[in-house]
Chains A and B, each alone.
Chain A
Amino acid sequence: MKKLSSGLLSLVVLFSLSVAATSVYAQEVGASTVEFPYTGNRTAVWIVAQLHILFAAFILGAPIFVVISEWLGYRKQDPRYDRLAKEVTKVTVILFSMTAVTGGLFIFVLLAAYPQFTTSFINQFYVVFAILYPALFITETILMYAYLYTWDVWKGEKKGRHIVLGVLLNLVCLLILFVINGPTSFMNTPPKAEGVSPQDFIAAATLWDKIANQSWFPLSLHRIDGNVAFGGFITGLIAAYMYMGSKTQEERAYYDWMGFAAIWIAVGGSLLQPFTGLLLAYEMCDYDFSFCPYMMADQLSMFFETQGIMIGLLFLGINYYSWLSVKRIEGADNVRMTILAPIVLIVLLPATMWVMDKFWIPDPMSLAFLLPLVLSPFLFGRFIPKTVSARTVIKIGFIIMLISDAVWLTPAGFVATGTDMPDEMKLPEGWDYLSSMPAKLSAILTLVYVTVVNYVLYNRTIKQGTILWGKIDFAAQFVLIFLAFTSTWIMGLMGAVRSLLKKYFHVYSLVSDLSAESFTPTLSYSVWWITAITVVFIGIVSVAALVALRPSVARVREPEGSPVPIAAK
């Protein structure tokens, strides 16, 4: 209980601090007189905002699968799930306080760097910032501590009650996400109407109008599945550290399993990401088409090139992890798959590119071609006697992934902005299809499909063979670290992209950013900060994991702990 009260106290102090700061700054309306040393004002805001969203993403994403895991443990009577859930919750609670700290810091830095805008923005969303958000946040604090501290009390008969509490916690988390994404998305796509000036429209708009702006829902969707994936990857990182630090084979077996479970969840979320991400981009471009060239062709085009590289590597990493996992399954060599699978893998990319060229997205014809194609191995596979070994299918999958990556990474030209691209830098005619949206989409679809096929195979192998828990190639732990790094880094990159999309405005086309820093920074500069933020974040997570999980290592070694059989399935 001591932790709970000190947590609450620090929250209240932070909140009153920020309110006090609001009123102080509100009096001296005008340009900021504060200049953050070394970083400058914009980058100072950037750093705390990004750190804050990283912690927030974890504490919103983790509870989703914690409850699922707790429920699975209850249903299957497998203590590993319950242990996973509890350990992640312990880390979540520590990171929760980091969320509060960075959140308070965020408001503080914002007020110092952009006093005029911040005060007016808070006024714009007064009910959200003064009532809804604090109330939800305090509710979440109480629920989260209650959830952790009732863990060992509400078990056995009362487990159901504990799970309900977890579900409640998740509902509040989701509500927070939707509420705070209102002001965030508002800055990108403030609601507007034809025939009315934006200023007049906003003055007359209700709070709901402002929250339910065009990019609000897609942003929230993309963040929900992003957060689940992110929570999974970070849990994988924790599992890797704990595996490396394990002293006994039992511990190793458990943390090997934890990494496996975490990546399962992360992959589930990641496979949805391209679709919700495209929906988000689509709504943004629909709101103002000039976002589209700014992102994909002009100032931010190389940011997207970088996103392509990193997501390509992320998918390679995910599949490499499942390859290593399959390798330590006894009997994996006997698993075979219909020959239709590698055939579809090979034709999918060119076929999709052709279909997307003929029938662009909203056209149902594209689905009429592609759905039967991608489903055929699963529907008709059993009727075809010829089969291929799992290893061969996975290796073909890797080649296809590399080709898809190459397509995804082919821009119209390697230039910083496409507005004045010299002809000699452009893809020559006949090849320019490779740089078009349909080609990119085909490439992402293929990456997703290869991953799905690999996971189907992986699942089949698990069913037919015996997993030697704790015997995974040690290299897999480095893959887990790599995945956590990459996904955090991508979040940093895309967060920067979303924020930069506002161009020289605080609120797009409504409130200009009159400071001297409203230009698009270079990719190199951005990447330095994104990397630094990632390192700080992962550093803090690592410390939190060590602090939270060390004692449990000791406890589990006592006889009452639940030893995991090495070859358990």
Chain B
Amino acid sequence: MGNIFKKLGIGLVVGGALVVVGHSQELPVSFQVLFFIVALIGAIVFMLLDAKPIGTMSGGKSVFAVTAFWILLITVCIAGASLLPQFDPEDEKAKIGKLLDKERKQSAQGKAEELIARAKALDAQVKALEERLKGIGGGQAATATATPPAGDKPSAAAGGGSASGDVMKVGEEQWQLQECYNCHKLRGEGGKKRGPELDNIGSLLTVEEIQQKIEDPKSFMAEGYEKEWQKGIMPNKFKDLMDPKEMQALAAWLGTFKNASVNTPKPIKKN
């Protein structure tokens, strides 16, 4: 008993100290809890290290003990993992639904004509938008007026009627669906320093060039990403996951980002 109380006491003191330090450093509470739990596990470990040996159990008693031990293990595992934050599948289901929608329809067949018709309509919209963008571009790409303020819907800044609005929607949706945000910060969201911030990409590349970059990530390489392992980070798979229209829409949407206050690195043409 003395052993148990002594170790428990030390565990509580160490754990408490960690919590105090964590608190003073403004670590989120969940981390303080983590460190506290590790300290308590430490207390248990040291209780076990110094525990008196258990004598050999009889058959019946050991069956009982093993069963109880199993139940304990199972409970701890399930409860422990269930207490960690859980990813909500609904977040993903909607996305996957959109991504697979086309293929599902195709595999269900009969919808092919409808798809072609829709693709044609989208194509026309893209053409119209490209015309308009050329009109806006006119050499003063990086002016403040063309810059969508952070947090603002860029489609609003790009203006235009419902046709370009649709393309913009498709573009933004592709950004979400293909999870570009996992590597790129845009409008101050996402990123995590894996790839460059893209808020000024519209001033550095034309829509066609952006599309080229998505299609073949080796076509342009951002300045400052010259290390061998960095060259292969941006996946070379998007041309297989998006159809050309979607890629165009994504490029067109990105082309509207001309926020010169963000330091998007210069893309260098490779081939």
Contact = CB atoms under 8 A, between A and B. Distances in A.
Nearest to A473: B53
A283 interface: no
A197 B237 CA distance: 9
B107 to A, nearest CB: 6
A521 interface: yes
B84 A425 contact: no
Interface string A165-207: 0000000000000000000000000000010011000000000
Contacts of A431: 25, 27
Contacts of B25: 428, 430-431
Contact of B81 (A306, A426, A535): A306
B45 A416 contact: no
Contacts of B56: 252, 474
Interface stretch (A20-28, A78-86, A287-295, A446-454): A287-295
B240 A198 contact: yes
B84 A402 contact: no
A390 to B, nearest CB: 13
Nearest to A542: B66
Given A194-B218, A244-B59, A309 B80 contact: yes
Chain A CB within 10 A, most for which of B69, B84, B103, B189: B84
Interface string A245-269: 1000000100000000000000000
Nearest to B18: A406
B235 A520 contact: no
B236 interface: yes
A18 to B, nearest CB: 25
A396 to B, nearest CB: 12
The interface size bin for chain A is 35 or more
B46 A409 contact: no
Contacts of B78: 524, 527-528, 531
B73 A523 contact: no
Nearest to A297: B192
Interface in B74-90: 74, 77-78, 80-82, 84-89
Given A398-B45, A418-B192, A306 B28 contact: no
B74 to A, nearest CB: 6
Interface in B23-40: 25-28, 30-31, 34-35, 38
B87 A290 contact: no
B28 A482 contact: no
B86 A523 contact: yes
B26 A428 contact: yes
B34 A514 contact: no
A305 B93 CA distance: 23
B41 interface: yes
Contacts of B73: 482, 485
B42 A302 contact: no
A49 B153 CA distance: 46
Report which residue of B34, B45, B77, B240 has the largest number of chain A beta carbons within 10 angstroms of its beta carbon: B77
A522 B107 contact: no
B86 A289 contact: no
A509 B28 CA distance: 38
A40 to B, nearest CB: 13
Interface string B105-148: 00100000000000000000000000000000000000000000
A302 B85 contact: yes
Interface string B231-256: 01111110111000000000000000
- Majority DSSP secondary structure for residues of A touching B: helix
Contacts of B218: 194
A427 B99 contact: no
Contact of B87 (A244, A475, A520, A528): A520
A217 interface: no
A293 B194 contact: yes
A163 B35 CA distance: 51
B28 A395 contact: no
A509 B240 contact: yes
B54 interface: yes
Contact of B234 (A289, A415, A428): A289
A327 to B, nearest CB: 7
Contacts of A198: 237, 240
Interface string A483-507: 0010001000000000000001000
A478 interface: yes
A520 B84 contact: no
Nearest to A298: B182
A293 B66 contact: no
A428 B31 CA distance: 11
B55 to A, nearest CB: 6
A44 interface: no
Contacts of A512: 100, 103
Nearest to B239: A197
A306 B85 CA distance: 11
Interface in A273-311: 286, 288-290, 293, 297-299, 302, 305-306, 309
29 contacts: A194-B218, A244-B59, A244-B62, A289-B183, A289-B232, A293-B182, A299-B92, A316-B45, A320-B49, A323-B49, A398-B46, A398-B49, A402-B45, A405-B38, A406-B38, A409-B34, A413-B28, A416-B86, A419-B179, A430-B25, A474-B55, A481-B66, A481-B69, A512-B100, A522-B88, A526-B81, A527-B81, A535-B70, A535-B74
Interface of B: 25-28, 30-31, 34-35, 38, 41-42, 45-46, 48-49, 51, 53-57, 59, 62, 65-66, 69-70, 73-74, 77-78, 80-82, 84-89, 91-93, 96, 99-100, 103-104, 107, 179, 181-183, 189-190, 192, 194, 216, 218, 232-237, 239-241
Given A418-B192, A527-B82, 6 more contacts: A299-B87, A306-B81, A419-B190, A428-B25, A431-B27, A521-B89
Interface of A: 31, 194, 197-198, 244-245, 252, 286, 288-290, 293, 297-299, 302, 305-306, 309, 316, 320, 323, 327, 395, 398-399, 402, 405-406, 409-410, 413-420, 424-428, 430-431, 473-475, 477-478, 481-482, 485, 489, 504, 509, 512, 514, 518-524, 526-528, 531, 535
The 10 closest A-B pairs by CB, nearest first: A414-B30, A416-B87, A527-B81, A473-B53, A524-B82, A474-B54, A416-B85, A244-B62, A522-B86, A406-B38
